[in-house]
Amino acid sequence: LLFQVAQVHVQSDPAGRLVITGDPDQPDNPWGITAFKKVINLPLRIDPHQTSAVVTLHGQLFVRAPFGHPDM
């Protein structure tokens, strides 16, 4: 059985914050997965060109978001 649980997006907004959003492919799914948006404020702006994200087969999200230079 192949089932895609949700569509997940990891972005940097203009203020340099990390924004993670998710929207299930099937809103009426039997697992109770709902849409979400999480904005993470960090002490410094992140470097969007060096940021990467991976979702594992078990549904874990790993984000690597190094801080940018102070003049960014």
pLDDT of residue 71: 60
pLDDT 10s digits, 12-64: 887 878 888 888 877 787 878 788 899 999 888 888 788 888 888 887 888 88
pLDDT of residue 6: 53
Taking the C-alpha atoms of 28, 29, 31 and 32 in order, what is their torsion angle to the nearest 10 degrees? -20
Name the pLDDT band for 68 (thresholds 50, 70, 90).
confident
- What is the DSSP-derived secondary structure letter of residue 16? S
The answer to whether residue 65 scores a pLDDT higher than 80 is: yes
The predicted structure's pLDDT at residue 13: 80
Residue 70 structure tokens: 């102070």
- pTM score, two decimals? 0.69
